[in-house]
Amino acid sequence: MSLPDVAELDLATKVGQLFVVGFEGPEPTEDLRELLTDYRCGNVIYFSRNIDSPEQVAELSRELQTIATEAGPEIPLFVTADQEGGVVSRTDWGTEPPSQMSIGAGRDADLARSVGGAVGAELASIGVNFDLTPVLDVNNNPDNPVIGVRSFGEEPELVGDLGAAMADGMQSEGVLACGKHFPGHGDTSADSHHSLPVVDHDRERLDAVELAPFRRAIDAGIDAIMTTHVSFPTITGDDELPATVSRDVQTGLLREQLGFDGLVVTDGMEMNAIADEMGTPEGCVQAVEAGCDLLLVCHTPAVQKDSVEAVIDAVESGRIDESRIDDAVERVLEYKERRGVGQQTPSLDRWEATSDRSREVGREVAAAGITVARDRNETIPFDTGRPLHLVGFPGGRASPAEDDRYEPTLVADALEAGGFDVELHEVETADALPSFEGDEQVVLATYNAAGDDEQVRAVERLDEAVDAFAALVVRNPYDLARFPDVSTAVSTYDYTPATLSVTGEILAGRRRASGRLPVTIAGFEAEN
């Protein structure tokens, strides 16, 4: 398909090509139809709320492409999603990859490339042509509430190498990859969904840590970079200015200093760090002025429409020169053509041809990444011929970016499949623990215990009372800092089906864990 020249497009169509809009439910809403036709929005984003099954997503993608191309110039949509793996996986049918921190624990760039290829092939089969990953943030702050296991780890070189490899694999399947969150969201203790974090390191430190993975990915040819709503006063001179709307960051640093000529994509413009500071419509105008090409407005139809109108008004009033719009649209069209967007028909048959590969690669990642951080008493393997007691605490989303699927029953089911006779005890406090005999086998699955004193008390109590005990750190490896003397600890980094299945095999002794912690845990000495 040959796409039209920018000169052939009217202003409304050009501005529409800059917007990536979300919607509610598994079918096109009337608001979405209006955004794609009357407002000419040229791109969409899927969240878990839009996804039921591979067949449904393939049909949805076909329908949206038809709506968009029949409404005006035949320009196909970027269909985007945050399919990072682990706790940010928009699909929920068993093929989602483990978290990036699990890949980091395995430290294998070839495996990262395989993950990118498998995810890219599966997404392409259901009509998703733009994956908003890899996460290139260096997670060196254990109190970070939004990145954590979404990152490959705390070593800039490792993060850059694995991120570049994952992007290469994804792009080899015709799906755009997008490194995020530039210039770095790893060393923050606030979540930009809720407020404006500040990273106030000097330029030497930023070059060595935060910027290094982005430079590596850019040099390797990544298609897109996503901005972050974090303040970098060393670059901007203003500790209240989000990087997304800073020309010093997006044009001066990213374009001119780092030499990036791909797509610059904003993070969600309805996040509080933008919405509360300047409002989403004004934020979109400022992001275009700063040098961004694609604007994510993901949730509210009225805000989406106001934002499109605000950018059009800014051009018509002379605030934004139309050449800035043309530059962004040329880049959007270039990448739609380069990656063959809209040229393949999504289908269930195509998905079925990719799903086995996704599952197998997921198991390879889990086997390489799951970490037996300590096993002083050689508790592992547990005896499958005896009952295994599993104690589980409830989970929940640590950030609005995450999907909320964790339940202790997921762990119990995986251990049952691994050959154990499991008795599950779901509790919310340490005082609710059953009374176990010293010779019983007990596993306690922690979930964000770093912020939960009850889970910490439960681990300490069981480790003292039971000989065959292990703490299974299901999500956040920083939990280990809260019980640094525990006798046996296993870190899984996520609760995807692949990860929990392999965990069951490791605890049963049928597979050996080989991962190493990719982050430093204060006060905890790993013994693997």
Per-residue pLDDT of 315-334, as tens digits, reads: 999 999 999 999 999 999 99
Q: Which of 31, 52, 193, 425 is catalytic?
A: 193
The domains located in the chain, with CATH, are: 17-351 (3.20.20.300), 370-507 (3.40.50)
What is the Cα–Cα distance from 273 to 400, expressed in whole angstroms? 13
| pTM of full prediction above 0.85 | yes
Q: Which of 161, 248, 267, 479 is catalytic?
A: 267
**If you average pLDDT over every residue of the chain, what do you get?**
94
What is the Cα–Cα distance from 157 to 138, expressed in whole angstroms? 9
The two beta strands, 263-265 and 295-297, are: unpaired
| 13-35: average pLDDT | 97
pLDDT digits (tens, 9 = 90+) for 75-109: 999 999 999 999 899 998 888 999 999 999 999 99
The amino acid occupying position 14 is K
In this prediction, residue 192 carries a pLDDT of: 63
In this prediction, residue 143 carries a pLDDT of: 84
In this prediction, residue 473 carries a pLDDT of: 97
pLDDT digits (tens, 9 = 90+) for 248-269: 999 999 999 999 999 999 999 9
Whether 229 is catalytic is no
| 400 pLDDT higher than 80 | no
| 426-442: average pLDDT | 94
Tokens 């691994």 sit at which residue? Answer: 418
Whether 193 is catalytic is yes
DSSP sequence for 163-217: HHHHHHHHHTTT-EEEEEEET--TT-SS-TTTS--B----HHHHHHTTSHHHHHH
Residue 456, both tokens: 């910490």
